[in-house]
Amino acid sequence: MKKVITYGTFDLLHWGHINLLSRSKELGDHLTVALSTDEFNSIKNKKAFHSYENRKLILESIRFVDNVIPESNWDQKIEDVLNYNIDVFVMGDDWKGKFNYLEDYCQVIYLPRTASISTTKIKKELGLLAISNV
Ligand code: C2G
């Protein structure tokens, strides 16, 4: 069984995330998502709208996601790849080159980001909508 892993916050899930997850699953037979915990998000200077538990519940309901584990620090990837017998590590290409050190342990693939959608964009536009409706 070819095992794939990817990492992220996946807040306010949108089609950019779905594209990444479905393309990741197409690279193997089993997809693990290492989901950033709320505590790790603060290290990443991110504040997710939804809690880790709720983001996990949403991801686990996606048919091509097979397993969700916590991502609690920057340095767990090698251990994860070894512990979960991962064959392929996948990230969006905004991270291109950042995780090439994993090539000693598995295949590393950066997939093109989906244009014109991001959690930040959603938050900004909702925030603007809220102001204009005042
Ligand atoms: N993504 C994408 N297209 C978008 C938005 C996001 O392909 N329009 C991808 C990102 O490139 C990433 C994944 O979806 O591979 C998750 O994105 P985020 O939740 O923003 O994750 P990030 O904060 O980049 O966390 O250790 C790695 C980090 O945890 C990655």
Residues linked to residue 32 through DSSP beta bridges, in sequence order: 5, 67
CA quadruple 123, 48, 33, 55: dihedral sign:
negative
pLDDT class of 134 with cuts at 50, 70, 90: low
Residues near ligand 1 (Cβ within 6 A): 7-10, 16-17, 20, 36, 44, 46, 71, 91-92, 94, 113-114, 117-118
CA distance 134 to 82: 52
- pTM, two decimals, is 0.96
Mutate to test the pocket of ligand 1, among 7, 69, 78 (most ligand atoms within 8 A of CB): 7
| pLDDT for position 129 | 66
**Beta-carbon contacts of residue 90 (< 8 Å; ≥ 6 apart):** 4, 5, 6, 20, 23, 24, 27, 109, 110, 111
Atom 17 of ligand 1 has which residue's CA nearest to it? 8
pLDDT higher than 70, residue 127: yes
Mutate to test the pocket of ligand 1, among 4, 10, 15, 17 (most ligand atoms within 8 A of CB): 17
96-107: pLDDT as tens digits: 999 999 999 999
| pLDDT for position 133 | 63
Angle at 90 between CA 68 and CA 112, to 5 degrees: 125
pLDDT class of 45 with cuts at 50, 70, 90: very high
Active site residues: 44, 46
